[in-house]
């Protein structure tokens, strides 16, 4: 492990995160809130320390997969630790473990909260919570790669460790251009949503916090009832944008490149949209008797499906009260998650497609023992190593899930709470069911459980490996 | 520029490495998934798996928007087909690697008919390089500028050399030749020297001069400047074929040692004037019997790098002649350098350099005006030939008054065919070509040399 270069890259991460902290400080200035000061002080201190680290480029430029994964894993932990400090100091969230949970939840775009009363938090704190979604959604290294030349030429390892999906590729030959395109699409969609929300009746602060939380598919709301208090038009806008942010960003690039035909060739998007459609229909039929108007039922069903499939976690209603069938559908689409290469969480649709096709083939082998056939997606054969890694991913996901459930079970809460709380964090979802439902919070768990959740959230966002590899002693050996 | 490279063998990777540094948008195509995975992980390029000669694969790789397609797969025919399609559908410039000696004879015809921008034959290029070295054995490597009027020569200063311990000002006073020392390689460091620089034993210096002055300089410092009289070539492959052809034309006696009987017969049919020996060159007795001690030059061209190195080391103990060693794998060049074999030839690198200089020239035809680009001292130093156009900021100012960047040297000025080794009072004029020596990479225009 080349620790010098990892430290150098972490220095840049610290510098930029600290720089971002000046934004909430600005919000503090606008609203005249004293909570802005800790952000200013931590931000400036972080900037200075960060710049100290990056003053000299390391001599040893060795940077392989191992260094890439370690850099990304450590960077996200570092960002959580630093980002929690001002939340804690400003007394918005006085307990540091709680603040750490909230920041990790924000960065990993989970949106699970330990706050019982969101509305008691200052504007500064609300803004910072939502802004962590924006940083975490597309990823800090994609941002760094977009704006500055990184040390060494092997930045692919960084992109691979941070971007979701079984196969991570570039849109254009140059990493820098590719990252810039991704961020431009990301920012463009966010600004578009902000403007629409503003036009349709939110005030600028609400529109800003909501749009950046949607962009990262995070889901921190700024009111106790999340999006429930807004008018129907706003609910539909947010829901549609959640679905848009859950689509593979390659599709937008193809749109920009005017290759419209190629978009329809992407199996993942077809499956993703059909899954949403079927779930909305099923849930609407299941719940419309509970509503006076059919339209309200449709709005709520559509919103909840959009929110859970993309793992955003906004809510317009307490779906805890829905029938078991609807809740089960929601849990299923939440595990499935959004498209690879989007800002959404979950296991990702493409992994499920590959997995199902691999299973069908395994079964086919009983009927035609000598048949040779490769798994195909988007009309192309999927590499064998990808199929294998997808299968391993499922297993690993299961192992981490059940170990976490076991560790959380010490809290003596009911089964549904225990199972869905872990599911909601590892899938970067946010709310689960029962006690951790849309109306509840994670406040009552003990500090150890919160640390387990923090691990799950970061592992879920980075797709397990970068965080898991940090535990291995072999990672830290010198070459 | 948007460049597509088909085929990621040794030569493909050499080109990728260089073009990445020069910030081009590179897309690579190869049939082997592992190769593509490896390359996309290690270099900032986009990879596609598939047959580069297929139109749909080319289209996916974006041939319609590409400026240049370089086909360097192992097969000549696939390379030509790639270029044909790319030219037809993408209307981009194309470069193909063609190695078969049979095609080599028809190269001009193929190039015109298929509309190729350039055909590169690594073996032929390397053979040309070797024949140049043998023509001028005192110097390690010769490059030319200004249509051959200006030469760049490497030489290693040995202990008897009159240059040892002299500053460059003293050297130029004493020798009074119109030459310029433009770079000095000492151990691992490379310097662009100024007048006060003191030369030491073991320094590898590069001089720039017109052909006549270079010869004069070498005579004055006591080096032999005659071309070799005879040569012994080990190995009878494609490169030997090209080399023998060129050397025989120059009147140099050629002796080829090859262990394969059939190859020997083909060679003897093709080159009736050459002496062909059928034997294993790793057998020292055979080399001694065939007169390695007396030969004027020795060229190791077998297909195995290790054999070439050992043969050259052996030859060095037996003969005072010029020794040339071919190395295919570039990876260990640091270690190979420590053997102090005087002339090393890396065919893949030579080919890659040719292509890169073409790409630069192409790039420059868009924005600026580099006419030739040559890499020296294993790529650490570049010599660039610029054409001076109207309105350039260097025109009309004496060189001593130009505010040059550090590590930049003006090597020579070609003023209407007259080669001038620049002194402080010389002035660059419109229409001149200027050779600039620098350790900075990526200069694109003459104005880049100014602060």
Return the pLDDT at A431: 86
pLDDT by residue (tens digit) across A339-374? 988 888 889 999 999 999 999 988 988 998 888 888
Which residue of chain B has the CA closest to A156?
B41
For residues A399 and B7, give the distance between their C-alpha atoms in angstroms, rounded to a whole number: 42
Which residue of chain B has the CA closest to A150?
B44
CA-closest candidate to residue B209, choices B5, B438, B412? B412
Residue B140 DSSP SS3: coil
Complex-level ipTM beyond the 0.95 threshold: no
For residues B41 and B37, give the distance between their C-alpha atoms in angstroms, rounded to a whole number: 6
Q: Cβ–Cβ of B41/A154 closer than 8 Å?
A: yes
For residues A332 and A92, give the distance between their C-alpha atoms in angstroms, rounded to a whole number: 35
Q: Cβ–Cβ of B44/A155 closer than 8 Å?
A: yes
Contact status of A172 with chain B (Cβ, < 8 Å) = yes
Count CB atoms within 10 A of the CB of residue A224: 14
CATH superfamily of B230-320: NAD(P)-binding Rossmann-like Domain (3.40.50.720)
Return the pLDDT at A99: 94
DSSP A400-453: HHHHHHHHHGGG---HHHHHHHHHHHHTT----SGGGSTT--STTS-HHHHHHH
Q: Cβ–Cβ of B45/A153 closer than 8 Å?
A: no
Return the pLDDT at B151: 79
Q: Cβ–Cβ of B42/A154 closer than 8 Å?
A: yes
Q: How confident is the model at residue A420 (pLDDT cuts 50, 70, 90)?
A: very high
- Nearest CB to A153; choose among B20, B25, B27: B20
Contact status of A61 with chain B (Cβ, < 8 Å) = no
For residues B41 and A218, give the distance between their C-alpha atoms in angstroms, rounded to a whole number: 30
Q: Which residues of A400-430 are buried (b: 16+ CB within 10 A; e: fewer)?
A: bbeebbebbeebebeebbbbbbbbbbbbbbb
With contact defined as beta carbons under 8 Å apart, do B386 and B372 qualify?
no
Return the pLDDT at B322: 85
Residue with tokens 């050779």: B435
Burial class of A462 by CB neighbour count within 10 A (0 to 12, 13 to 18, 19+): buried
For residues B437 and B373, give the distance between their C-alpha atoms in angstroms, rounded to a whole number: 10
pLDDT above 90 coverage of chain A, percent: 51
Which residue of chain A has the CA closest to B33?
A383
Contact status of A173 with chain B (Cβ, < 8 Å) = yes
Contact status of A149 with chain B (Cβ, < 8 Å) = no
Return the pLDDT at B70: 93
Contact status of A153 with chain B (Cβ, < 8 Å) = yes
Instruction: Give the tokens for residue A458.
Output: 């970061």
Q: Which residues contact A232 (CB under 8 A, 6 or more apart)?
A: A295, A299
Contact status of A295 with chain B (Cβ, < 8 Å) = no
Contacts of A177 in chain B (CB under 8 A): 25
Same fold, B230-320 and B366-449: no
Q: Cβ–Cβ of A173/B40 closer than 8 Å?
A: no
Q: How far is A269 from chain B (nearest CA, A)?
A: 20
Contact status of B18 with chain A (Cβ, < 8 Å) = no
Contact status of A157 with chain B (Cβ, < 8 Å) = yes
Return the pLDDT at B366: 58
Domain boundaries, chain B: 2-120, 230-320, 366-449
Mean pLDDT over all residues of chain A? 89
Q: How far is A274 from chain B (nearest CA, A)?
A: 27
Element (H, E) at B108: helix B107-114
More confident residue, B241 or A158: B241
Contact status of B306 with chain A (Cβ, < 8 Å) = no
Task: Tell me the range of A5-9, A64-68, A212-216, A379-383 where mean pLDDT is highest.
Answer: A212-216
pLDDT by residue (tens digit) across A317-344? 888 889 999 999 999 999 998 998 888 8
Q: Cβ–Cβ of B40/A175 closer than 8 Å?
A: no
Return the pLDDT at B101: 79
For residues B420 and B412, give the distance between their C-alpha atoms in angstroms, rounded to a whole number: 6
Contact status of B414 with chain A (Cβ, < 8 Å) = no
CA-closest candidate to residue A300, choices A313, A288, A312, A289? A288
| CATH architecture entry for B366-449 | 2-Layer Sandwich (3.30)
Contacts of A155 in chain B (CB under 8 A): 44
Q: Which residues of A98-132 are buried (b: 16+ CB within 10 A; e: fewer)?
A: bbbbbbbbbbbbbbbbbbeebeebbbbbbbbbbbb
Q: Cβ–Cβ of B41/A157 closer than 8 Å?
A: yes
Instruction: Give the tokens for residue B316.
Output: 């060095």
Q: Cβ–Cβ of B45/A173 closer than 8 Å?
A: yes
Q: Cβ–Cβ of B44/A175 closer than 8 Å?
A: yes
With contact defined as beta carbons under 8 Å apart, do A25 and A36 qualify?
yes
Q: Cβ–Cβ of A153/B40 closer than 8 Å?
A: no
Q: What region, left, alpha or beta, does residue B150 occupy, with left being phi > 0 and alpha being psi -120 to 50 degrees?
A: beta
Give the mutation candidate from B46, B50, B62 for the A interface (greatest A CB count, under 10 A).
B46
Strand partners of residue B95? B70, B118
Write out residues in chain B with pLDDT < 70, as ranges: 137-142, 146-148, 224-225, 364-371, 378-379
With contact defined as beta carbons under 8 Å apart, do A459 and A400 qualify?
yes
Contacts of A383 in chain B (CB under 8 A): 33
Q: Cβ–Cβ of B20/A175 closer than 8 Å?
A: no
CATH assignment of B2-120, among 3.10.450.50, 3.40.50.720, 3.40.190.80, 3.30.70.120: 3.40.50.720
Residue A463 has pLDDT above 70, yes or no: yes
Return the pLDDT at A97: 93
Contact status of A169 with chain B (Cβ, < 8 Å) = yes
Q: What region, left, alpha or beta, does residue A412 occupy, with left being phi > 0 and alpha being psi -120 to 50 degrees?
A: left
For residues A161 and A157, give the distance between their C-alpha atoms in angstroms, rounded to a whole number: 6
For residues A244 and A241, give the distance between their C-alpha atoms in angstroms, rounded to a whole number: 5
Contact status of B45 with chain A (Cβ, < 8 Å) = yes
- Nearest CB to A172; choose among B33, B42, B46: B46
Which residue of chain B has the CA closest to A157?
B41
């Amino acid at each position: 492990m080349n620790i010098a270069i990892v430290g150098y890259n972490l220095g840049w991460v610290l510098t930029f995160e600290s720089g971002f902290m000046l934004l909430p400080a600005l919000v503090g200035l606008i609203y005249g809130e004293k909570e802005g000061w800790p952000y200013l002080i931590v931000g400036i201190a972080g900037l200075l320390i960060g710049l100290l680290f990056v003053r000299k480029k390391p001599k040893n430029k060795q940077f392989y997969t191992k260094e890439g994964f370690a850099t990304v894993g450590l960077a996200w932990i570092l960002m959580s630790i630093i980002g929690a400090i001002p939340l804690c100091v400003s007394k918005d969230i006085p307990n540091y473990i709680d603040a750490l949970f909230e920041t990790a939840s924000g960065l990993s775009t989970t949106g699970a909260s330990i706050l019982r009363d969101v509305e008691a938090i200052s504007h500064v704190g609300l803004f910072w919570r939502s802004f962590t979604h924006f940083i975490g959604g597309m990823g800090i290294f994609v941002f760094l790669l977009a704006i500055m030349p990184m040390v060494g030429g092997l930045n692919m390892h960084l992109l691979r460790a941070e971007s979701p999906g079984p196969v991570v590729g570039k849109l254009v030959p140059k990493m820098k251009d590719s990252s810039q395109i991704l961020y431009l699409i990301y920012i463009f969609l966010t600004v578009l949503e902000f403007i629409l929300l503003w036009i349709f009746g939110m005030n600028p602060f609400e529109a800003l916090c909501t749009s950046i939380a949607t962009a990262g598919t995070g889901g921190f709301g700024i009111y106790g009832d999340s999006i429930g208090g807004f008018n129907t038009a706003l609910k539909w806008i947010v829901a549609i944008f959640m679905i848009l942010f859950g689509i593979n960003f390659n599709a937008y690039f193809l749109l920009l490149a005017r290759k419209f035909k190629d978009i329809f060739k992407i199996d993942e998007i077809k499956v993703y949209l059909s899954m949403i459609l079927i779930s909305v229909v099923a849930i609407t039929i299941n719940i419309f008797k509970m509503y006076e108007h059919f339209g309200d039922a449709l709005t709520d069903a559509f919103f909840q499906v959009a929110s859970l499939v993309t793992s955003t976690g906004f809510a317009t209603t307490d779906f805890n009260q829905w029938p078991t069938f609807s809740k089960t559908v929601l849990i299923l689409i939440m595990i499935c998650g959004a498209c690879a290469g989007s800002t959404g969480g979950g296991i990702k649709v493409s992994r499920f497609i590959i997995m199902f096709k691999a299973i069908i083939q395994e079964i086919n082998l009983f009927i035609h023992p000598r048949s040779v056939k490769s798994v195909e997606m988007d009309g192309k054969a999927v590499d064998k190593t990808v199929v294998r890694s997808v299968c391993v991913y499922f297993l690993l996901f299961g192992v981490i899930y059940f170990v976490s459930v076991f560790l959380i079970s010490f809290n003596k809460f009911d089964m549904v709470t225990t199972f869905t709380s872990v599911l909601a964090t590892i899938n970067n979802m946010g709310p689960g069911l029962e006690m951790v439902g849309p109306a509840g919070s994670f406040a009552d768990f003990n500090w150890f459980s919160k640390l387990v959740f923090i691990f799950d959230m970061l592992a879920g966002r980075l797709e397990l490996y970068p965080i898991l590899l940090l535990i291995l002693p072999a990672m830290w050996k010198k070459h | 520029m948007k460049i597509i490279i088909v085929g990621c063998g040794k030569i493909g990777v050499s080109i990728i490495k260089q073009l990445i540094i020069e910030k081009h948008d590179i897309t690579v195509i190869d049939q082997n998934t592992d190769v593509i995975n490896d390359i996309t992980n290690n270099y900032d390029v986009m990879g596609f798996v598939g047959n580069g000669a297929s139109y749909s694969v080319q289209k996916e790789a974006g041939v319609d928007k590409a400026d240049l397609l370089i086909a360097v797969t192992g097969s000549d025919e696939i390379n030509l087909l790639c270029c044909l399609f790319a030219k037809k559908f993408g209307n981009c410039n194309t470069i193909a690697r063609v190695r078969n000696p049979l095609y080599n004879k028809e190269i001009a015809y193929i190039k015109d008919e298929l509309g190729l921008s350039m055909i590169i034959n690594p073996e032929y290029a390397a053979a040309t390089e070797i024949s140049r070295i043998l023509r001028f054995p005192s110097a390690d490597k010769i490059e030319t500028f200004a249509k051959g009027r200006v030469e760049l020569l490497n030489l290693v200063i040995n202990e008897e050399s009159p240059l040892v311990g002299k500053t460059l000002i003293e050297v130029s006073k004493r020798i009074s030749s119109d030459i310029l020392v433009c770079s000095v390689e000492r151990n691992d460091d490379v310097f662009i020297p100024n007048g006060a620089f003191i030369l030491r034993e073991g320094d590898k210096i590069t001089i720039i001069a017109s052909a006549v002055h270079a010869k004069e300089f070498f005579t004055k410092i006591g080096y032999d400047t005659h071309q070799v009289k005879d040569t012994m070539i080990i190995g009878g492959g494609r490169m030997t074929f090209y080399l023998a052809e060129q050397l025989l034309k120059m009147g140099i006696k050629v002796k080829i040692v090859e262990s394969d009987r059939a190859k020997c017969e083909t060679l003897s049919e093709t080159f009736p004037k050459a002496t062909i020996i059928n034997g294993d060159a790793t057998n020292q007795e055979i080399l001694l019997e065939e007169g390695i001690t007396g030969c004027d030059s020795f060229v190791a061209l077998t297909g195995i790098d290790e054999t070439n190195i050992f043969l050259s080391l052996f030859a060095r103990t037996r003969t005072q002649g010029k020794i040339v060693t071919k190395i295919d794998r570039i990876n260990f060049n640091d270690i190979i350098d420590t053997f102090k074999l005087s002339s090393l030839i890396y065919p893949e690198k030579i080919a890659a350099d040719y292509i890169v200089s073409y790409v630069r020239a192409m790039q420059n035809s868009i924005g600026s005006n580099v006419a030739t680009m040559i890499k020296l001292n294993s790529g650490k130093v570049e010599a660039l030939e610029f054409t001076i156009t109207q309105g350039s900021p260097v025109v009309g100012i004496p060189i001593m008054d130009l505010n040059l960047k550090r590590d930049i040297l003006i090597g020579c000025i070609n003023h209407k065919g007259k080669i001038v080794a620049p002194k402080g009072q010389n002035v660059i004029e419109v229409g001149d070509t200027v050779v600039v020596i620098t350790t900075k990479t990526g200069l694109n225009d003459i104005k880049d040399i100014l602060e």
